[in-house]
Structure 1
Amino acid sequence: MRPDAQAMNIDMNCASDSYRVHVLTQLTADGTGFSGAWQETTRQAEGTVTGRLSKSGDMTADLQAIGVSIRLSARADGRRQAIRLQVQGTDVQDVVIDLQR
């Protein structure tokens, strides 16, 4: 890691009465790029992540694991946040989250 690189760990839980997802992510950011590893503990899945932040604040990331690849894109502007997951290798293929104030 370069001396000016920044590290970030994410611990995310999402659960309902019938579903649970627990994701741990360790990232290193260097300029506008970032990379690292992720793990989903309830399904014992793990892989790598690489991504980039644009000057406008948009983010794209590619998550890879054995048999699964995910393209994540996120955009925030003023009163709106939009997140899209395009998935290959699972029964879920496209997730869109659009939040507005």
Structure 2
Amino acid sequence: MGHQLVYRVAVDGKRPVSKTSRTSEFFAYPRRLTIAAVAFFMTSLAVPASYAQSSGPYAGMAGKWAGGGTVTLDDGSNERIRCRAVYDVAGAKMDMSLTCASDAYRFNLTANVVDQGGAIVGQWSETSRGITGSLQGRGGGGNFQVTAVTAGFNANIGLRTTGNKQSVSIRADSLFRAANISLSK
């Protein structure tokens, strides 16, 4: 038998296939298919979380952003500023931090907000000056109009997110009058 096997290999270039190897090939394909299906299913579980972030009230905002713009002070002077923003999105809740600085001016704005069916409510603070207050407004889909209020300070904040670009517009009634900021991811 061994001699016939060697002869067959020499003539055909193939080894004979035994029933056991056919059986293992039969079961190997479904096993590979099952592993591929499990891998696909596991990776698809990650999609709904990112989809929820991109389709919820804070659509496209999650992550780190950077850019610059201008700040207008009470005396009417303008200064160029550099900014960083971080948005931590979890369903209807969002924590954000916006830090901007120029050569002579700096502000650190943080906020914790909740979407209540298109109404945005929360708290904010400007940490470099030790000011805190409430925040309320409307918005969704990455676009918001809100008002930040505390004793002696009111500011209207507009935020618009389109793809990996974001614009922030702040209008206030104090030493800090306005800021126009453009950010990118």
Is the shorter-chain TM-score for this pair beyond 0.5, marking a shared fold? yes
Equivalent residue, structure 2, for 1:64: 149
Change (3 A) 1:69 1:33: same
Which of 117, 124, 130 is matched with 1:38 structurally? 124
Tell me whether 1:73 sits opposite 2:158 in the alignment.
yes
CA shift in 2, pair 1:24/1:52, >3 Å: same
- Give the structure-2-normalised TM-score: 0.42
Structure 1 unaligned residues grouped into runs of 5+:
none
Judging by fraction of residues, say which structure has more strand.
1
Say whether residues 1:6 and 2:92 are aligned partners: yes
Post-superposition offset of 1:96:
2.0
- What do the CA deviations read for 1:47-99 (whole angstroms, capped 9, x no partner)? 000021156x43101000111100011223457533211111x1222222346
Q: Tell me the C-alpha RMSD between the 2 structures.
A: 2.7
Percent of residue pairs bearing the same amino acid type: 24
Write the distance in 1 (CA, Å) between the matches of 2:92 and 2:164: 28
Q: How many residue pairs get matched?
A: 94
- Larger relative contact order (C-alpha < 8 A, sep ≥ 6)? 2
State the AA in 1 paired with 2:109.
V
Question: Shift in Å at residue 16 of structure 1?
Answer: 5.5
Give distance in 2, aligned partners of 1:26 and 1:33: 14
